[in-house]
Amino acid sequence: MRLSLATVPATRATKPAYDPSALDIGVVHFGPGAFHRAHQAAYFDALAAADPRWGICGVSLHSTGVRDALTPQDGLYTLAILDAEISYRVIGAIREVLVGPEDVEAVFERLTRPSVGIVTSTVTEKGYCLGPDFTLDFQHADIVHDLANPQTPKSFIGYVAEGLRRRKQAGLKPFVLIPCDNLPKNGHRLKAAVVAFAARFDAGLADWIDAGLACPCTMVDSITPATDDALRARVADVTGLEDAWPIQREAFTQWVIEDHLHEGGPDWTRVGVILTDNVPAYERAKLRLLNGPHSTLAYAGLHKGYDSVSQAMDDAELAQTVRALMIEDVVPLLEAPKGLDLVAYSEDILTRFRNPAIVHKLSQIAWDGSQKLPIRILSSLSEALERGHDITRLALPLAAWMRFVRLKAVKAEAITDPLATDLIAIGLTCKDVVSDVGLFLALRSVFPEDLANNRTVIAAIEGAYTRLLAQEGVFA
């Protein structure tokens, strides 16, 4: 039998402590992929037993896959917690999934419901359509389209702006907008982007949004590998029900939200959400001590022929390098949030990386390197440079990314990245010599001019690149 409201009583997983069909739609979430279903949806699921107002309408901007998998299951899916202790739990918080291009007016109807008080997003860093300076990119094809066709948007920004316009027209307050991607100052930058978009066609709307929209910054964390057939088989065997799209993650989960006014909002702290006035400190710690090392393991690990994070961590040399990068290079650059020991936090992250129950593909982490590396690595490298610190280890992930691109290009393999076309062209131009580094450093959307022309930076990346070239005979 397949998981659904009718069959869920038969599951051997933990069942929802409420009737999912009785939930109101109070949240519209853009990007209902694996991370959202492992993270935010699990928090709203925990809220639902005592507060049924926060059922979720998921909105996919492109793909029909989540809708097609979950609709026959009445929105239910199994969350597998794979760690020292293993457990399975059915999540019932997602009540429907819409596909933007097919359900435009239905999406706007949800966005303008009085019961909808929260809009969340996991659309990846590139989904906010920002330029290198983190302001809205008005040359982005989706933004150009949405300004000309606001009733049929393609971008998340376009949906939010038009949804807010319709709420204003209907005499409703703005919803609270909560981005959940690894974008520094995500709330502030998202709000600025929406205001800038609205100002292009309605100055009054832009002022209304600027004055009334709460858009708190956040930090989110839980390692969530992609679903595969092995997980589907495992879930079916353990729970007794087939599930088209179960989700897996580690036991650790963290959601930090900037404290904000939300009359009648959820009781966040009851389900473990941290409300704080210092999200940036949590954000920088996570981006630089978890995401940065993740990218380092991805590119350096793939270079050595490894497939997953735990495999890469079994390489003593690589694990030692990553630990030193975290504790010796990055920790000294960070402000510790109150009550957080950054060295202990780093050691906990390394333990999470070693979790053998989670098979987190390095190839998945390697996606969108041109968007991730400036935030995860270059930010630390820039500060280390300013303080006169050694940047040798911080150059490793940059050089390994360059080799990753080069090898993908010569093997004619696709790269998942907004700059894929440019990267493939650069990769095909490389000659497997240190001068290759200059081709990548010329990418201004990745490397700002001051770093790209800095002799110390160039020397550090060229040194790492040379070492990787020497290894390829061993690890290719």
Indicate if 315 and 437 belong to the same structural domain. Answer: yes
What is the overall mean pLDDT for the chain?
96
Q: Total domain count for the chain?
A: 2
Q: What is d(CA 17, CA 15) in angstroms, rounded to the nearest whole number? A: 6
Q: What is d(CA 162, CA 147) in angstroms, rounded to the nearest whole number? A: 10
Percent over 70 (pLDDT), the chain: 99
* Domain presence at residue 1: no
Domain boundary among 228, 261, 277: 277
* Domain presence at residue 191: yes
Stretch (H or E) spanning 176: strand 176-179
Domain boundary among 227, 259, 277: 277
Q: Which ranges of 256-291 would DSSP assign to H, the alpha helix?
A: 279-286
Tell me what pLDDT residue 475 has. 42
Tell me what pLDDT residue 474 has. 43
* Domain presence at residue 240: yes
Length of the chain counted residue by residue: 476
Structural domain harbouring 415: 280-475
CB 219 within 8 A of CB 279: yes
Mean pLDDT of 112-124: 97
The CATH number for 386's domain is: 1.10.1040.10
Indicate if 147 and 189 belong to the same structural domain. Answer: yes
Indicate if 257 and 353 belong to the same structural domain. Answer: no
Q: Quick check: 291 pLDDT over 50? A: yes
* Domain presence at residue 356: yes
Q: Quick check: 195 pLDDT over 60? A: yes
Stretch (H or E) spanning 249: strand 247-249
Q: Quick check: 45 pLDDT over 60? A: yes
Q: Quick check: 471 pLDDT over 90? A: no
Indicate if 265 and 325 belong to the same structural domain. Answer: no
The CATH number for 255's domain is: 3.40.50.720
Percent over 90 (pLDDT), the chain: 95
Mean pLDDT of 173-179: 98
Indicate if 90 and 115 belong to the same structural domain. Answer: yes
* Domain presence at residue 383: yes
Mean pLDDT of 279-299: 96
Mean pLDDT of 328-341: 94
Q: What is the DSSP string of 261-327?
A: --TT---GGGGTPEEES-HHHHHHHHIIIIIHHHHHHHHHHHHTT--BHHHHHTSHHHHHHHHHIII
Indicate if 291 and 205 belong to the same structural domain. Answer: no
pLDDT band at 459 (very low <50, low <70, confident <90, very high): very high
* Domain presence at residue 245: yes
Q: Cα 352 vs. chain centroid, distance in angstroms? A: 18
Q: What is d(CA 21, CA 41) in angstroms, rounded to the nearest whole number? A: 15
Q: Quick check: 476 pLDDT over 50? A: no
Indicate if 300 and 246 belong to the same structural domain. Answer: no
Mean pLDDT of 2-27: 98
Tell me what pLDDT residue 182 has. 86
- Among residues 249, 333, 223, 339, which one has the least CA distance to residue 285? 333
Indicate if 351 and 377 belong to the same structural domain. Answer: yes
Indicate if 345 and 229 belong to the same structural domain. Answer: no
CB 243 within 8 A of CB 72: no
Indicate if 112 and 245 belong to the same structural domain. Answer: yes
Domain boundary among 222, 243, 277: 277
* Domain presence at residue 2: no
* Domain presence at residue 79: yes
Tell me what pLDDT residue 338 has. 85
Indicate if 198 and 315 belong to the same structural domain. Answer: no
Phi, psi of 223 (to 5 degrees): -75, 120
Indicate if 394 and 351 belong to the same structural domain. Answer: yes
Q: What is d(CA 108, CA 55) in angstroms, rounded to the nearest whole number? A: 17
